[in-house]
């Protein structure tokens, strides 16, 4: 990122905060701003603040993780937890305390997955714009007031950010934008689970950003299996390997935008599926990601590159 301005995601954060301030000022009459989310929004702002400091002067990994964990706990204690899991052909299973652990793990995982993937001009910014726009439409269809408003403000923020992040990028969102966005999307996933009694709607947000989650998860698992230090800097994400193997920056970013658009279409299909079929909506998304991995792996072999380091 030499010569490029980090922390450009501050604009998206400020757009979201400004929208929320207006929303909560008229909450009683608009009836779409739930007061329980005030703590969550403040926690998200705190994450953004710590991340902004990290963009300016590097902070310890322990401090960054502590801020994320504290924010996740604020969300949980605000009542945002996954309380049941609907298993196909079995039905809903009450999770109890396990639901709290799953919620915390999900929030931390999503926050860091989005952050890890922010390394290529326009990739994450474009995916987030498409995902948030799709979530806005879905929340409007499902009557999810807060999810609708929050997703709308995020969409506006990333719409203003993306033109400056396209290749050749003038700014990157930095940790301040990517961690904030990852945290808010994680929270909105839990909030969206309320769209149906079995909480299957929790799957909507993970589906919308499935490309980011798959790349981050696969890279983490692969590096651990190969004995690499998973926390060490590297250039072996799938999207990075695609670029290093000769695929243009714009082409890699556009491919991920295509994934996001495909996932948005799947999310709309998800709304119309019977409950037993809903969890299976991830299978087409997974198939596409595996095909993408196979294409990149073939290009990597032809280019004589190594997946290590």
Per-residue model confidence as pLDDT tens digits over 162-171: 999 999 998 8
The whole-number pLDDT of residue 33 equals: 57
Banded pLDDT at 3 (limits 50, 70, 90)? very low
Answer with the residue of higher pLDDT: 309 or 113. Answer: 113
Phi, psi of 84 (to 5 degrees): -145, 155
Q: Which pLDDT belongs to residue 34?
A: 66
Total H helices, total E strands in the chain: 13, 2
- 42 has pLDDT over 70: yes
pLDDT interval class at 60 (50, 70, 90): confident
Query: In 148-304, where do the E strands start and end?
Result: none
Which structure tokens are listed for 157? 């923020």
From 25-39, 155-169, 280-294, the region with the lowest mean pLDDT = 25-39
In DSSP notation, 97-152 reads HHHHHHHHHHHHHHHHHHHHT--STTHHHHHHHHHHHHHHHHHHHHT-HHHHHHHH
Length of the chain: 309
* Range with the poorest average pLDDT among 202-216, 227-241, 254-268, 278-292: 227-241
Q: How confident is the model at residue 230 (pLDDT cuts 50, 70, 90)?
A: confident
């Amino acid at each position: 990122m030499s010569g490029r301005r980090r922390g450009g995601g501050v604009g998206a954060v400020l757009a979201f905060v400004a929208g929320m301030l207006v929303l909560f000022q008229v909450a009683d009459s608009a009836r779409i701003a739930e007061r329980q989310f005030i703590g969550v929004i403040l926690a998200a702002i705190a994450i953004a603040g710590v991340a902004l400091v990290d963009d300016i002067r590097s902070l310890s990994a322990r401090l960054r993780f502590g801020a994320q964990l504290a924010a996740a706990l604020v969300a949980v204690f605000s009542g945002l937890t996954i309380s049941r899991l609907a298993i196909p052909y079995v039905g809903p299973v009450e999770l109890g305390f396990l639901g709290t652990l799953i919620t915390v793990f999900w929030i931390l995982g999503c926050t860091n997955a989005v952050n890890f993937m922010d390394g290529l001009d326009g990739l994450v910014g474009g995916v987030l714009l498409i995902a948030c726009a799709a979530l806005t439409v879905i929340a409007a269809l499902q009557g999810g007031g807060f999810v609708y408003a929050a997703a709308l403000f995020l969409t506006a923020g990333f719409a203003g950010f993306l033109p400056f992040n396209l290749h050749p990028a003038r700014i990157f969102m930095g940790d301040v934008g990517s961690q904030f966005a990852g945290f808010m999307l994680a929270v909105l996933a839990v909030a969206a689970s309320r769209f149906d009694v079995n909480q299957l709607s929790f799957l909507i947000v993970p589906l919308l950003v499935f490309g980011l989650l798959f790349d981050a998860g696969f890279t983490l698992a692969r590096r651990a299996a190969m004995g690499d230090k998973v926390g060490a800097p590297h250039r072996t994400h799938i999207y990075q390997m695609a670029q290093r193997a000769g695929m243009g920056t714009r082409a890699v970013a556009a491919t991920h935008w295509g994934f996001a658009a495909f996932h948005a279409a799947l999310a709309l299909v998800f709304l119309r599926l019977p409950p037993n079929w809903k969890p299976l909506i991830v299978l087409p998304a997974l198939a596409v990601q595996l095909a993408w991995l196979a294409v990149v792996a073939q290009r990597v072999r032809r280019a004589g590159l190594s997946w290590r380091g």
